[in-house]
Every structure is written in C-alpha cells, then in structure tokens.
Structure 1
Amino acid sequence: MGTVVLAALVPARGAAFQLVDGLAVTAIALLFLLHGLRLPRAAVLQGLGHWRLHLVILGVTFLAFPVFVVLLQMLMPGFVAQPLWAGMLFLAALPSTVQSSIAFTSMARGNVAGAVVAAAASNLLGIVLTPFIVMLLSEATGASVSLAGVGRIALLLLAPFVLGQILRRWLADWVEKTRRITSFTDRATIILAVYVAFSEATNEGLWQVLPVSDILRLAMLSVLLLALVMLTSGGIGRMLGFSREDRIAIVFCGSKKSLATGIPMAKLLFAGSMVGPVVLPLMIFHQIQLVICAWLAQRWARR
C-alpha cells in the first residue's frame, strides 16, 4: 500500500519508467527461477495420493471463484467501474497462496501435508490456467488479453520455473541456506512490479477517475466474495465426507489468491494502462483474506 502511495505521488516517467519497467520484468523471471529451485519434487509426488482433496481445492480455486465473480457482476453490473470488474475476474482466476495457506492450515490444526501439495499444485497449474481463464471470460469484463500475453507468461514464468527445477539438483542446498535472500527477492519483486503498474496508472490519470467510493465498494465486494467461497468450500468438504483436518485445508487453500503470482502475471497479460486497475482488487482482497483467515484459524485452533 505504501508503494501505491509512492507511485501516486512520485510516478516513474520517461527514461526512468523504462528503467524500472525493465528491472521489474527481469525480477519476475528471477522470482520464478527461485520458485523452481525451492520446490522439492519429492514432496509433491509424495502428497499426490490424496487426489480427492486436491481436486476439490483446485475446483474451488479455478472454477468456483470465477463463477461467483461472473454472477456478482451480472447481479451488480454498476457496483464498481468496468476495469475493476476486470480486476475481480483476474483475481478469481489466480492460483492459491503458498505460505499463508500452509501457515493458516497448520495454525488451525488441519492437514498440513495436503495443504503443501495443494498450494504447490495450484501455483504450477495457475501458470497455464490463469491466462486462459481470463481470456475465455475477457469479453464479459471488457479486459484486453491477447495470445501474446500468454506467450510472455510461458517465456518469463514457466521457462524460468522449469529451469529452476532442472538446476535444483545442483543448487537446492544453496537455496535452503540463503532463504533470507530469496525471501527478500520475493518481496522486492512485488514492490517493484506494484510501483511500475501504478506509476503507469497514475500517468494515465487513474486517481482522477477512480473515486474513494469505488475503493470502499471493492473492499465490500472482496468480503462478500471471500465469504461465498469459504462457505462453499466448507460445505463441499462436509458433503463429500472429508475429515475435519481436510476440510480446514480445503477452506484455507481454496479461498486464497496469490499476490506474489498475480502481480507479475498482470504485468505480462494486460496492457500497461490496465495493470493498475486490474491489480487493485487483488491487493485489497489479499489484505482482507489475511485478516479474516488469521482470525478464523485462531478460532478453529481453540476448538
């Protein structure tokens, strides 16, 4: 949020913008290279046996979320501006978070092993599924997504990730020893990408056309969407007879959306002037999901 304020007050322009834009693209490729280096294949293969759990979580993440957003837009078409609805759809198409999904599942005494595998699978599939879900529904939202954007996703996200998995054989120990450095890279990439996105949005006059009331409505919409998804995921878990531990993993993994994956993807998928309005719903939803899920995890842990 501080970076958004900075970009609104001191946006990058001209040669400075070209410089930070190039740095952001390079940082995004590096981020996914590190993701590939950090993800142990053995842990993923070991947990794939609980396929029913993973299918439910993936169904909530990539199917229920977009359906709810489309229904909300049909019921409340003028509730927020059209570019913000495009951002809500993009949010709905994103994969789950990794760290917070696992952390909240652990805090609530759920199936942590299942959460690890589900979150990892969600992020891997999201590299492929997210752009195509957005493309399929782009006409309904007015978003402009092209095949060129999908190609950039493959080049700057998927290719570095695969390279990281290949290099893991030699560099896995180094990555484990330098987790502080790689964690800093994650945060720095997000901050840089946010600054670039909102610098361009500021230069295009976003804050002159986006009233405060729209931001408040976005927050209300985010709370409603999160409530719908959490109630649905919990209900599906009970209906299919999952254990309490599995239901906790379904709720926390299925209801999250990844800021670390979403902002780089938005930068690659959408036209420059669209990126700011598109990632704004994601940033608001991300903060709300952390607050609500932290409270819920503590409550379930006490039970």
Structure 2
Amino acid sequence: MLARLAILFDPLVRLLLLAILLATIVPVTGEGRAVARTASDAAIFVLFLLNGLRLPRSAVVGALRNLRFLLPLVLFVFGWMGLVGFSAAELAKVELPASIVLGFMFLGVLPSTVQSATAYTSIAGGNVANSVIAAAALNLLGVFLTAPLLAVMSGSVMADLDIDTLQRIGLILLLPFAIGQMLQGRFGKAVSDNRHLISWADRIAIALAVYVSFSGAVEQDVWRLLSPPLWGLLLTLIGLMMAQAFFGAWWLSALLRLPDHDRIAFLFGGAQKSIAMGAPLAAILFPPETAGLVLLPVLIYHLLQMIVSAPLAARFSRSG
C-alpha cells in the first residue's frame, strides 16, 4: 500500500500541487509576470536542451523505423484523442468558459508522457524498449503537430498561429533540442551520470511553467469562476476522455493483434498525456491570463492518470 502511494504521489505530482498552491496564495501579477515568464522560458529552454542531450539519436531513428507499433499509436494519440478532445469541448462550451473549452482540445492533441508511461510499462511487465522509443517519437512529433492541430480544431476560438508564436516554438523548443542532439557526444555521458539532478531540473522547469500559467488563472478568479456543478461537469468530461483513452488504446492494441507486452506499452503510451509538453507549450501559445485556464484540464487529467495507472500497472504485474 505504501509503495502504491509512493507511485501515486511522485515528486512531479507534489511539485505540481505546490505550484498550484503557490499560484493561489501568491500569484505573479503585473510587472512581475514579465520577469516570471522570462524565467519560465529560460527553464523550458534548459528542459528541451537536456532532452536533446539525453535522448540517443539511435532511439529517434529506431522510433521512426518501428512503424507497425508507432504509426497506429501516433494516429491514436493525435487523431483519435484529438477528436475525443474536440467532442468534450463541444459538450463543455454550453456551460464552461471559452479558455477551458479550448483546454479540452489542447489536452486531446498533446503527446504522451515520457517518464511515467515508461515507468508504468516497466512495472506492468510491458515492452519498455517500445515504450521509450514511442515516447521519444510522440514528444518530438508533438512539437510540430500539437499547435497546428489545435489551431485547426479551435477555429475562431484561437488566433491563427502567427510568426511570433512559430518563432517562440522554434527558439524555445526546437533550437535547444537540436543543440542538445549536436552536443550529445560531448555532454551526453555527464547528463546520463547525473540523472537524479537532471530529473529534478525537468520537474522544476515544468512546475515553474505551471506556476506562471496558473497565476493567470487565479487572477481570473478560477476558484470562484466555476461553481460546484461546473467543477463536476469539468471532472466528468475529463473522466470520459480518460475512459476513451484507456479503453480505446487497449481495444486498438487488441485489434492490431499486438503481443501482450506490446499492448501494455501501447496502453500507457496512448492513454497518458504529457504535462511536460503541455505546460511549456501553453506558456508559449497563450498569454498568461489565458494559459492557466487552458491548462486546467491538462493538470487534472495528469493527476488522475497517475491515480488510474498505478493500480492498473500493479494488476498487470500480478497477472503476468
């Protein structure tokens, strides 16, 4: 029981809850917001630089070659879940604020997690190699696909991607990743040898992006903006999206006749959504006063997917 609780409340979850609490008590506003956003952008740059340093080029190449497993997973994560997010947004727009409605579409087209999907696949006895490769490919594709897919789905709700936004994506996400890949031969071993410190740098960068974004939501009075019935609607729609994600990924993996260990990797890779990509992208795509509300469905989904995935992985482990 204690081990399961440790899985549920991992360091990233605790940092996210702390970021939300700090944003609620001491939100960054006014002139401080510009400073905080600059600090957040710098942390995101470092996050993607580290990702480039530690992700072996062989894994990127291998991911693109493993088409029987990867192609259906890409279509599920960005295609099917994008439609699920759009459908949830259509149901939400009757009652919920427009920024939260946009958040459902944003959630639908986010890539999978990297660390937790791989960790739960390992616990469940799944194919860890496929999980690592798929997570690498999905997150790399997410940099290119998430924003355009969101722009197409949202239409007039979200302004078209302009040159400034594309430049921010290039400078803060793609450039550091490319630099990391180029410097991998020189610094890759140092990153691998200090995984514990690097993982904390990742978590702090994500938590800082969440803090800055959620401060905008607090300034919009998010805790009073939603009445208890609206919070219930929000949680219900996220629960329905999660059910579609987990059951859909498991059903599709059966339809593809994947072996059991690959089905487990497909399940966690397809059903989970990445706050590590969601928070940085939200900080880049949306102004601070909007980003927090857009990120709200992603934050709730991320916390709930941990609660669902831990006992599910344990059950697979016992039955394996």
Q: TM-score range by the shorter chain?
A: over 0.9
Say whether 1:257 aligns with 2:273.
Answer: yes
**Aligned equivalents of 2:32 and 2:259: distance in 1?**
54
Say whether 1:182 aligns with 2:182.
Answer: no
Q: Which amino acid aligns with 1:210?
A: L
**Aligned equivalents of 1:184 and 1:282: distance in 2?**
21
After TM superposition, give the deviation of residue 19 of structure 1 in Å.
2.0
Which residue pairs with 2:54 in the alignment?
A: 38
Which is further off, 153-162 or 210-219? 210-219
The one of 161, 165, 174 equivalent to 1:146 is 161
Contact 2:206 2:276 in 1 (8 A): yes
**Aligned equivalents of 1:73 and 1:203: distance in 2?**
23
Which residue pairs with 2:12 in the alignment?
A: none
Which residue pairs with 1:67 in the alignment?
A: 83
After TM superposition, give the deviation of residue 75 of structure 1 in Å.
4.7
Q: What value does the CA root-mean-square deviation take over the aligned residues?
A: 1.7
After TM superposition, give the deviation of residue 70 of structure 1 in Å.
1.8
> Under a length normalisation based on structure 1, what TM-score does the superposition of the two structures give?
0.94
Which residue pairs with 1:96 in the alignment?
A: 112
Q: Which amino acid aligns with 2:49?
A: L
1:236–1:288 CA distance, 2 compared to 1 (3 A): same
Which is further off, 184-193 or 163-172? 184-193
**Aligned equivalents of 1:120 and 1:94: distance in 2?**
13
> Under a length normalisation based on structure 2, what TM-score does the superposition of the two structures give?
0.89
After TM superposition, give the deviation of residue 108 of structure 1 in Å.
1.3
Query: Equivalences for 1:76-115 in 2 at 5 Å?
Result: 77-115=93-131
Which is further off, 225-234 or 283-292? 225-234
After TM superposition, give the deviation of residue 227 of structure 1 in Å.
0.9
Which residue pairs with 1:131 in the alignment?
A: 147
Say whether 1:302 aligns with 2:308.
Answer: no
After TM superposition, give the deviation of residue 58 of structure 1 in Å.
0.9
Say whether 1:159 aligns with 2:182.
Answer: no
**Aligned equivalents of 2:221 and 2:291: distance in 1?**
13
Gaps of 5+ in 1: none
The count of aligned residue pairs is 302
Say whether 1:239 aligns with 2:251.
Answer: no
**Aligned equivalents of 2:28 and 2:65: distance in 1?**
49
1:73–1:203 CA distance, 2 compared to 1 (3 A): closer
Which residue pairs with 1:191 in the alignment?
A: 207
Contact 1:32 1:161 in 2 (8 A): yes
Contact 1:131 1:150 in 2 (8 A): no
Gaps of 5+ in 2: 1-16
Q: Which amino acid aligns with 1:101?
A: A
**Aligned equivalents of 1:59 and 1:27: distance in 2?**
31
Which residue pairs with 2:297 in the alignment?
A: 281
Q: Which amino acid aligns with 2:21?
A: V
Q: Which amino acid aligns with 2:34?
A: Q
**Aligned equivalents of 1:276 and 1:219: distance in 2?**
17
Report the identity percentage: 37
**Aligned equivalents of 1:113 and 1:273: distance in 2?**
40
